[in-house]
Amino acid sequence: MARVTGEPGPAVERLASARRALLTSHASPDGDAVGSEIALAELARGLGVEPVIVNRDPMPAGLDLMPGAGAVRLLETVEGDLLEGIDLVVTLECPELDRAGIEGLDRRPILNIDHHRGNARYGEVAFLDDTAPAVGEMVWRMFRHAAIEPSPEAATAAFVALSTDTGDFRYGNATPRAFEAAAEMVAAGARPEQVSEWVHEQKTPGSIRLLGEALRTLELLAGGRVAVMQVDPEAFRRAGATAADTDDLIDVPRTIAGVRVTVFLKQWEPGVVRVSLRSRGTLDVRSVAARFGGGGHTNAAGCTIHGEIGAVRRDVVRAVLELVEEG
C-alpha cells in the first residue's frame, strides 16, 4: 500500500530523490496524459532528474505539434538497458498500474499521480486528488511546491492537459481552481488559441468521413434520453479511417437536447469492442463501465469488452437503460 498524499510535497520529494525516472500514462493517452507527462518531464529536469517518457500508444492527432511531444517513446515492454537505467516509475492518470499497458513497470518503485476516484493506491508514494480538474493541474501544483518556474513549453503542456480534461472549461470540473491554474499557465506563456488549433483543428479526412458512418448508426432510446452510436470494421474501411480517428465522435450525440447518457462502441480489432460512456448530472456511468470490468468517472467512463459488437451493444444498452430508469 502506498504512502498516500493529497498534497504535492511528498510527490516532489520522491521524484527529486530519483536519478532517472520513467514517466508514463494510460494506453490510448488523452491530452491530460501527454500534457502532464511533458510538463512533469520539465519539472524532473529542474529537480536534477533525467526523465524518459514512455507510452504504449501514440498521442491524439494534433498534440504531436506540442513542444516536447517528440520526446515521447512508444513501447510495450520496458526491459534491458532502459530498465537498468531507471530508478523510479511515475504513472500519471493510471487508476491501476496495468492501465499503462506496458510490461516491466512493476520492477521499479512507483510514484502514482492521479485524479481518478477509485485509484488503487498502488506504488510507493501516491499523490491522489479526485477534486483536481486534471492531472496537469496537479503537476502544476508540484512546480509551485518545488518553486521551479515553468517554461512557456511546460505551461503549454499543462494547459493542454487542463483544457482537454475540462472540455475547454465547459465540464463540471471547470472549477475556480481550474480557472486559477489556467490563468497562471497563460501568464506563464501558454497560448489558448494555439492549443485549441492543435486540439480541435488537426482532424484527418478519415475522421470526418467516419463521423458520417457513425451517424448512420445513431439510435435514440428511452424517450430520447439515451443515444447509442457505433463504428465497426466495415465503417472504418469505408471511411478510410483508423482507430485514432474516433477520438471525439462521442461528443456529437451528447449535444442532442434531452440526451442524458451517450454510448459509443468501436470495434477496430476482431472480437474486441471499446465502449465509451458519457452522462449528465448524477447519472453514474462509471458504475455501468465497472460492471463490464472498466472504470472512469461519474460522467465519463469506459470499458473494453470481448465479443461481437451487436451483442456487446445489446448488453451495454440494457445496463444503461436500467441506470436511466433508476435515475
42 binds Mn ion (CB under 5 A): no
Which of 18, 232, 294, 305 binds ligand AMP (CB under 6 A)? It is 294
CA 145/CA 92 separation, integer angstroms: 18
- Binding part of the chain for ligand AMP, among 6-14, 74-82, 224-232, 301-309 by CB under 6 A, reads 301-309
- Shortest reach from residue 290's CB to ligand AMP, in Å: 8
8 binds ligand AMP (CB under 6 A): no
- Shortest reach from residue 51's CB to ligand AMP, in Å: 23
Q: Describe the strand order of the beta sheet including 110-114 as a list of residue ranges.
A: 3-5, 125-128, 110-114, 88-92, 20-25, 50-55, 72-74
Give the three-class secondary structure for 300.
strand
303 binds ligand AMP (CB under 6 A): yes
Residue 220 corresponds to which amino acid? L
Which of 161, 181, 300, 309 binds ligand AMP (CB under 6 A)? It is 300
Which residue's C-alpha cell is 518553486?
147
Which of 12, 301, 309, 312 binds ligand AMP (CB under 6 A)? It is 301
Nearer to Mn ion, 32 or 37 (CB): 32
- 32 makes contact, choosing from ligand AMP, Mn ion, none, with CB < 5 to 8 Å by partner type, with Mn ion
Q: Which positions from 87 through 146 interact with ligand AMP, judged by CB under 6 A?
A: 116
165 binds Mn ion (CB under 5 A): yes
- Give the number of other Cβ atoms within 10 Å of residue 98's Cβ: 15
Give the three-class secondary structure for 109.
coil
Dihedral sign, Cα of residue 185, residue 186, residue 188, residue 193: positive
Nearer to ligand AMP, 146 or 261 (CB): 261
- Shortest reach from residue 15's CB to Mn ion, in Å: 19
Which of 166, 276, 279, 299 binds ligand AMP (CB under 6 A)? It is 276
- Shortest reach from residue 11's CB to ligand AMP, in Å: 20
- Percentages of the chain per state (helix, strand, coil), in multiples of 5: 45, 20, 35
Nearer to ligand AMP, 14 or 115 (CB): 115
174 binds ligand AMP (CB under 6 A): no
CA 285/CA 278 separation, integer angstroms: 7
- Alpha carbon dihedral 246, 252, 253, 254, in 10-degree steps, equals 110
130, 215, 272 from 116: Cα distances, Å: 5, 31, 25
- Shortest reach from residue 300's CB to ligand AMP, in Å: 4
Question: Which residues here bind ligand AMP, judged by CB under 6 A?
Answer: 116, 276, 294-296, 300-304
